[in-house]
Chains A and B, each alone.
Chain A
């Protein structure tokens, strides 16, 4: 996989959560082009081809899976940056978090999050949720081509 053809940008600081999510996605064979970022800063660097990812060719992922509580730059800040940039403002972002705090939910929806999901403790449910997510956003859902490609 090259950095250019990433389907899912998964922003999660917990190694255990990353592993569990990858197991769930692998089991349903939905996605294998996943880029994991361990904090918000790394995610934005990757997304906007900065610093360590400066040589990456920009291409918006099909889905951003976003944890709320992240080191350095938190989930809401990442979401804000994604919605602020012309190139990424339409990218589907799904918050996948432990918290179901009303405030987090409200703030996320105010920033036009596409979906807000609380990670279930039970792995069977967690697996189902992750698989449904992958299937829906990568297979069922359709996203428009970038406006720049239409103009040409």
Chain B
């Protein structure tokens, strides 16, 4: 209730009070004048005047009281009507609210149910994945054990035949035997490389701060037997320290450096450069050589398993090395790509950070060939 409405109620009360006061004052004046010292005639006059004033005043008060009661009654009726309307409104609002609460509860239950469903589905999928992983492990175990054995036997017996009975065989027979033992050895290498790659896929990444320059130096030293008798100019620049799995990162560098050594075999003086550039605001490591290179239009095939851009007669290999490199780099959230020209060498780049979360740098054309 606001003050305005109350103001209307005060007015009649004020009038009533004024009238009551004047009546009392009038009566008192009459009484004062009707004291024993006053003459009787004037006393009667004063008394009559006083009673007239009193009668009038009382009548006015009665009228006012009736008016006031009427007003109060009307106000009470209006008030009751308003209150009942408000109550109805409140009841409607309450019903609406209750409905809303009910609906919300229902929605909440639905969300909970969906969540539970999702959770059970995730659990089921995880179980399936675990089972698939176990199956894969069993498969690779059996590949390791059961597939390697016959290859070893083929290679072994054909070698023994060559060595112990070679003189009794003509040149063609000896050539065939050598092909048999070579093929078995190559397949053995293939199986080993594939298993190694499979293991990388299942291996958990253990990131540690790693000095890449040191890692390159270690990988280079491991390659010394392959570099024997070769003239190789190593230009290893300063590389940054990064958060990566050092064991896996060493495999990346070993693979790329070993490729550089292998494909520069055709050069009298090989130049192998390792350095770091910033592309699209991300540091990228590169390994550049002046070797046989390759046709850039086949660059997309380079990192596929068993994909080779050179024949085994030109350059030996199983086509697993670069696939392994890609798998490791991708596991680190990075990318690997290559730029080359036939007979002019090749440059392999790789990043370790995920550039989709980069600092908003515009992607340049260099990203086009990324794998």
Q: Which A residues are within 8 Å of any B CB, using their own CB? A: 14, 16-17, 20, 23, 68-69, 97-101, 119-124, 126
Contacts and interface: CB of A to CB of B under 8 A. Distances in A.
A121 B185 contact: yes
Contact of A123 (B144, B155, B189, B192): B155
Interface in B153-189: 153, 155-157, 159-160, 181, 184-185, 187-189
Contacts of B181: 123
A123 B159 contact: yes
A119 B188 CA distance: 11
Given A119-B152, A123-B181, A126-B152, A16 B157 contact: yes
B141 interface: yes
Interface string B138-157: 00010011101111110111
A123 B145 contact: no
Contacts of B146: 98
Contacts of B150: 16
Nearest to A16: B153
A9 B293 CA distance: 53
B185 A122 contact: yes
Interface residues of B, number: 23
Given A121-B188, A123-B159, A124-B159, A101 B152 contact: no
Given A17-B152, A121-B188, A122-B188, A98 B159 contact: no
A97 B152 contact: no
Given A99-B141, A101-B141, A123 B148 contact: no
Given A99-B144, A122-B188, A123-B181, A23 B149 contact: no
A98 B141 CA distance: 10
17 contacts: A14-B149, A16-B149, A16-B150, A16-B156, A98-B148, A98-B149, A119-B148, A119-B149, A121-B152, A121-B155, A121-B187, A121-B191, A123-B152, A123-B155, A123-B160, A126-B152, A126-B156
A76 B47 CA distance: 137
A17 B155 CA distance: 11
Given A20-B160, A121-B155, 6 more contacts: A16-B156, A17-B149, A20-B153, A97-B145, A98-B144, A119-B149
Contacts of B144: 98-101
A123 B157 CA distance: 8
Nearest to A24: B156
A126 B160 CA distance: 12
A104 B155 CA distance: 25
A52 to B, nearest CB: 27
A124 to B, nearest CB: 7
Contacts of A17: 149, 152-153
A123 B188 CA distance: 11
Interface in B187-205: 187-189, 191-192
